[in-house]
């Protein structure tokens, strides 16, 4: 029970911080809309709807990357992570709370982005929406984890995309598959499997990412 309370307190902290400072969300919204405009001009006239569906996933991954890059910046600048590691809570709660907060930002960004996509390109089916939801879980779980890794290094912001993109390829495969084929079940199942596997892996190993020298 106290684990849930820890996670809730930590996630609440991130959401409150964003509500007051408004650092990340406006940037993500503006970025995703700007990406769509770029995509419109990068797609030749009369290109198929399928191409646009693929680009939706590019936009989602890069928008998420923008948010994830910011996720641990307050912790780094204010040395919050040192305090959190000392706090008497399970370390995986730090990851879970951060992933939930990032998921909330990404979800808000997509609530705006998907209708904008439908307006600019073509309508979106329920399979795509389901795939976006499942993909978001995986993106936030893995991305938050790698974000915590990246802030511990000298390269910092430079490193996150390099670490994240190879791991995001299966998500893109599942997402694009679910958006373009007529029977999306296997792709949705694949996304769920990805979420499950990497969720458990992140949850189990996060302790080592933030652990200080023993």
Partner 1 sequence: MSPVGRTYRIPLPALAAASLVLVTVALALVFFVVPNDADQGFSQRIFYFHVSIAFTAYACFAGGAWKALLHLWKRDPSADLESYVAVHQGLIFGSLVLLTGSIWARISWGHWWLWSEDQLVLFLVLFLFYAAYFMLRFSVDPGPQRANLSAVYALFGVVLIPVSFLAIRIAKHFIHPVVFTSNVSKNLPGSMLVTYCVAQAALLVLAYTLYRVELSGKRIDARLRELRLA
Binding stretches for partner 1 (CB under 8 A): 149, 152-155, 159, 162-163, 165-167, 169-170, 173-174, 176-177, 180-181, 186-187, 190, 193-194, 197-198, 201, 205, 208-209, 211-214
Complex with partner 1: residue 72 or 198, whichever CB lies closer: 198
**Which of 67/174 has CB closer to partner 1?**
174
Q: How far is the CB of 184 from partner 1 (least distance, A)?
A: 10
- Give one word for 156, left, alpha or beta, with left for phi > 0 and alpha for psi -120 to 50: left
CB of 132 to partner 1, least distance (A): 17
Choose between 87 and 180: whose C-beta lies nearer to partner 1. Answer: 180
**C-beta of 5 vs 165, nearer to partner 1:** 165
Return all residues near 61 (Cβ < 8 A) that are at least 6 apart.
Answer: 139, 165, 168, 171, 172
Minimum distance of partner 1 from residue 85's CB (angstroms) = 12
**Residue 114: how many CA atoms within 13 Å on its side-chain side?**
17
Spatial separation of the C-alpha atoms in residues 201 and 208, rounded to whole Å: 12
Which of 41/208 has CB closer to partner 1?
Answer: 208
According to DSSP, residue 157 is labeled G
For residue 90 the two structure tokens come to 């399970």
Name the CA dihedral angle for 66, 92, 136, 193, rounded to a multiple of 10 degrees: 140
- C-alpha distances out from residue 84 to 7, 143, 151, 177, 210, Å: 12, 19, 15, 40, 9
How many other β-carbons are positioned within 10 Å of the β-carbon of residue 167? 16
Cβ at position 158, least distance to partner 1 in Å:
8
Residue number with CB closer to partner 1 (126 or 214): 214
**Taking a C-beta distance cutoff of 8 angstroms, is the pair 114, 124 a contact?**
yes
Q: Nearest approach, Cβ of 145 to partner 1 (angstroms)?
A: 8
Query: Shortest gap between Cβ of 123 and partner 1 (angstroms)?
Result: 19
Q: What is the largest CA-CA distance in the chain?
A: 60
């Amino acid at each position: 029970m106290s684990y849930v309370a820890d996670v809730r307190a930590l996630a609440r902290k991130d959401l409150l911080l964003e509500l007051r400072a408004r650092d990340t969300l406006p940037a993500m919204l503006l970025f995703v809309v700007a990406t769509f405009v770029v995509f419109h001009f990068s797609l030749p006239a009369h290109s198929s709807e399928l191409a646009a569906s693929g680009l939706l996933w590019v936009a989602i991954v890069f928008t998420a990357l923008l948010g994830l890059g910011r996720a641990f910046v307050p912790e780094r600048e204010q040395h919050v992570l040192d305090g959190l590691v000392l706090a008497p809570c399970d370390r995986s709660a730090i990851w879970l709370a951060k992933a939930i907060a990032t998921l909330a930002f990404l979800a808000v960004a997509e609530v705006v982005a998907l209708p904008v996509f439908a307006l600019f390109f073509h309508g979106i089916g329920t399979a795509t929406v389901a795939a976006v939801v499942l993909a978001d879980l995986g993106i936030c779980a893995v991305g938050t984890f790698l974000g915590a890794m990246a802030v511990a290094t000298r390269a910092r912001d430079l490193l996150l995309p390099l670490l994240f993109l190879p791991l995001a390829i299966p998500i893109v495969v599942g997402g694009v598959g679910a958006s373009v084929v007529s029977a999306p079940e296997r792709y949705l199942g694949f996304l769920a499997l990805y979420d499950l596997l990497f969720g458990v892996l992140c949850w189990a190993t996060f302790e080592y990412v933030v652990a200080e020298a023993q």
